[in-house]
Structure 1
Amino acid sequence: MNILAISEMSLFKKLIIRGKNGTLGGIETNHKNLMRGLRKRGHRIIENKAFPKGQSPDIIICPTFGPISILMIWFYKRKYNCACVQHAHTTQDDMAGGFLPDVLVKYAGTYLKHLYKFSEIIITPSVFSKENLTRLEIPTRPPIYPVSNGVNLAKFKFSERKREEFRQYLNDQHEIDKDRKVILCVSVLWERKGVDVFYHVAKQFPEYEFVWVGNYITAKKLKERYDDLPNITFTGFVDDIVACYCGADAFFFPSRAENQGIPLLEAAACKLPILCRNLPTYSWLKDGIHCLKRDDLNGFVSGLKEIMAGENLRNQLINNALDNVQQHDINKIINQVERIYKRAIKLRRRLLEMQHER
Structure 2
Amino acid sequence: MKISHYFEFEDHVTGGIRESVAHQRKMLDRLDLEYTTEPTLEADVFHCNLMGPRSVWYARRARKRGIPVVAHTHVTAEDFGDSFRFTNALAKPLRPYLERAYGLADALVCPSEYNRGLIEGYVDGSTPTQVISNGVDREKLEGFESLREEYLERYDLEPPVVFLVGHVIKRKGLETFVETARQLPDVDFAWFGPIDRSLKGRETKQLIDSAPENCTFTGFIDDIRGAYAAGDIFFFPTHEENEGIALLEAMTAGKAVVVRDIDTFSWLENGEDCLKVAAGSSTAADANSDSNAAVATDGGPTSFVDAIESLRDPDVRDRLGSNARERSEGFSLETIAQAYERLYAEVV
Category of TM-score, reference length = shorter chain: 0.7 to 0.9
Establish whether residue 197 from structure 1 lines up as the match of residue 201 from structure 2. no
Give the structure 2 partner of residue 211 of structure 1: 190
Query: How far off is 1:224 after superposition?
Result: 4.4
| Selected match of 1:43 from 17, 27, 33 | 33
- Partners of 1:6 and 1:72 within 8 A in 2: no
Query: How far off is 1:200 after superposition?
Result: 0.2
Query: How far off is 1:157 after superposition?
Result: 4.8
Unmatched segments (≥5 aa) in structure 2: 280-290, 293-302
Give the structure 1 partner of residue 307 of structure 2: 303
Establish whether residue 92 from structure 1 lines up as the match of residue 96 from structure 2. no
Give the structure 1 partner of residue 327 of structure 2: 324
Give the structure 1 partner of residue 45 of structure 2: 59
Structure 1 pair 124–336 and aligned structure 2 pair: CA distance change class (3 A): same
Aligned equivalents of 2:162, 2:143: Cα separation in 1: 16
Aligned equivalents of 1:102, 1:155: Cα separation in 2: 33
TM-superposition CA deviations, 1:317-338 (whole Å, max 9, x none):
1111111000000111111111
Query: How far off is 1:223 after superposition?
Result: 3.5
Establish whether residue 288 from structure 1 lines up as the match of residue 271 from structure 2. yes
Establish whether residue 68 from structure 1 lines up as the match of residue 54 from structure 2. yes
Give the structure 2 partner of residue 3 of structure 1: 3
Aligned equivalents of 1:151, 1:249: Cα separation in 2: 19
* SS class of match (2:69): strand
Give the structure 2 partner of residue 338 of structure 1: 341
- Partners of 1:242 and 1:270 within 8 A in 2: no
- Superposed counterparts of 1:12-161, under 5 Å: 12-13=12-13, 24-50=14-40, 56-78=42-64, 80-99=65-84, 100-138=86-124, 141-157=126-142, 159-161=144-146
TM-superposition CA deviations, 1:58-100 (whole Å, max 9, x none):
101111133332223224444x531111111122321222235
Aligned equivalents of 2:137, 2:39: Cα separation in 1: 28
- Partners of 2:268 and 2:274 within 8 A in 1: yes
Query: How far off is 1:181 after superposition?
Result: 3.2
Unmatched segments (≥5 aa) in structure 1: 14-23, 171-175, 346-358
- Partners of 1:158 and 1:270 within 8 A in 2: no
- Partners of 1:157 and 1:269 within 8 A in 2: no
* SS class of match (2:163): strand
Aligned equivalents of 1:339, 1:121: Cα separation in 2: 12
- Superposed counterparts of 1:236-247, under 5 Å: 236-247=219-230
* SS class of match (1:226): helix
**TM-score computed with the length of structure 1 as normaliser:** 0.84
Give the structure 2 partner of residue 181 of structure 1: 160
Aligned equivalents of 1:71, 1:11: Cα separation in 2: 19
- Partners of 1:157 and 1:270 within 8 A in 2: no
TM-superposition CA deviations, 1:280-310 (whole Å, max 9, x none):
11122111111001123331111111112x3
The aligned length equals 322
Aligned equivalents of 1:181, 1:220: Cα separation in 2: 31
Query: How far off is 1:8 after superposition?
Result: 1.9
Aligned equivalents of 2:319, 2:50: Cα separation in 1: 37
* SS class of match (2:251): helix
Give the structure 1 partner of residue 148 of structure 2: 163
* SS class of match (1:12): coil
Aligned equivalents of 2:306, 2:142: Cα separation in 1: 28
- Partners of 2:175 and 2:207 within 8 A in 1: no
Aligned equivalents of 2:162, 2:306: Cα separation in 1: 14
User: Residue type of the partner of 1:4?
Assistant: S
- Partners of 2:106 and 2:347 within 8 A in 1: yes
More deviation, 3-12/122-131: 3-12
TM-superposition CA deviations, 1:14-37 (whole Å, max 9, x none):
xxxxxxxxxx11111011111122
Query: How far off is 1:227 after superposition?
Result: 2.7
Aligned equivalents of 2:102, 2:44: Cα separation in 1: 19
- Partners of 2:59 and 2:105 within 8 A in 1: no
Aligned equivalents of 2:205, 2:329: Cα separation in 1: 34
* SS class of match (1:136): helix
TM-superposition CA deviations, 1:178-221 (whole Å, max 9, x none):
x4432111121222111011010010111122111112212274
